[in-house]
Amino acid sequence: MSRWRAVVGLVAVVVIGAGVALAALRPWQTASEPEPLALEGDLATHDPALVVGDEGEPWFVYSTGAPGKSRGAPLVHRSDDGGTTWEAAGTAWSTDEDPQWVRDSIDGVEHFWAPELVEHDGTWYLYYSASTFGSNTSAIGLATGSTLDPEDPDYGWTHQGAVWRSQAGDPYNAIDPGVITDADGTPWLFYGSFWEGIHVLPLDRPSGMPAEDADPVQVASRPGVTNNPIEAPYVVERDGWYYLFVSWGKCCSGVSSTYSIHVGRSRDVTGPFVDADGVDMADGGGTLVLGSRDSLIGPGGQSLSEGYLAYHFYDGDNAGAHRLAIQRLGWDDGWPVATTTVPEP
C-alpha cells in the first residue's frame, strides 16, 4: 500500500507554505515522501483514532461523539477498501449503555471527545475524554471490549470507570488520551490540553488503569503563549525514538480554527522531547509537521497507526465543515514528513 523509494540528492523534509520544502542529502541517504489517501464517503470526524487493519481486514476510525447521538458516545466509521471509502457505523455504545459515572461527577457533558484505541492480549482498550469547553473539571474514561466492529456478534464495551481526573486548581486538564507501550512492555498515558500542557503517567496491565503511585510528569508546554494552546498528544516509536505529536492552537471553530501539528522526539518515553532544532517541547519546542494551507484549515487532533497519520481539518471550500484526512507519513533523517495535499477520489 506504500511506495517507498530512494531519493538521491533531494527530499521533502518539513511542510512549509504550499506543500513541502526540499533539502540536500548525501548520496547514500534515502528518504520517503508522504502519501495522502484520496478519501470518499462519510468523512465527518473530529479527533480521529485510526486503526489500520491487516490486509483484507477493515480499517476503523473512532472519533469525538455528536451531541444527541447516544448521549454523545464516540462515533464509529469503517472502511473496507484499505482506508479509501468510509461509512458511518454508528456509535461506540447506545444511550442505554451511557457511562453513569460521568453523569454523577461532571456536569454538562454533551459528548465524549478524542478517543484512543489500544489492543493488548486480545482486549481492546477504548479511552475517551469527558469534559466541557473551557473547564478542567474533566476525566479520562476507559471501556474494554473484544472487537472494534459493531457488526461482530461479540461487539460491546464494558465501562471500567475513570482512569484519571482533573479539577479546578490542578495544573493540567485530563483529556485527550494517547497511549504507547515502551520497549519494556510498560504502557504510558499521555494527556493534556491548555493549562500547563501535556503530561504522562504509567499505566498497569491488564487493568489499563494508572500504575500504583503514578505521578504525572509534564513533557510539553508553550510557556509565554496566551492560554498555552497545546493538546492532543500522540506518541509512536520508530527506530529507537519516541515521537510526541501534538496540536497547537485552537480547535473546533470552523474556518477560524488555528490548529497545526508539531513533533519532538526522545530516546526515553518520558522525555525530554526535543524538536529538530534541539528545543525541549516543555520549553515551547515543536517542529511543524502540518499546518493550514488554502482550503485545508486547522489540521490536528491526530493519531497514527501503522505509519499512517489521521487528522481532522476544516474545509474552506465547504463552509468550514470538519472532515477526516489520512496520509502515510514520509521520513527524512529521522523526522516525519507530511503534505498539505488532500487528493480528491
Which sequence positions are flagged as catalytic? 47, 231
Q: What do you get for the CA distance between the two ends of the chain, in Å? A: 16
Three cell numbers, residue 53? 487493519
User: What residue type is assigned to position 178 of the chain?
Assistant: G
DSSP state of 10: E
Do 310 and 61 touch, CB atoms closer than 8 A? yes
Burial class (CB in 10 A: 0-12, 13-18, 19+), 42: middle
- Residue pair 314/322 in contact by the 8 Å Cβ criterion: yes
Assess contact for 196 and 203: CB atoms under 8 A.
no
Task: Classify each residue of 130-156 as buried b or exposed e, where b means 16 or more C-beta atoms within 10 Å of its C-beta.
Answer: bbeeeebbbbbbbbbbeebbeeeeebb
Q: Omega before 206 cis (within 30°)? A: yes
- 214: Cβ contacts below 8 Å, ≥ 6 apart: 201, 202, 203
Q: DSSP letters of 152-205?
A: STT---EEEEEEEEE-TT-SS-----EEEE-TTS-EEEEE-BSTT-EEEEEB-T
Q: Are 3 and 307 in contact (CB under 8 A)?
A: no
CA-CA-CA-CA dihedral for 145, 149, 150, 154, to nearest 10: -50
What single DSSP character describes residue 32?
B
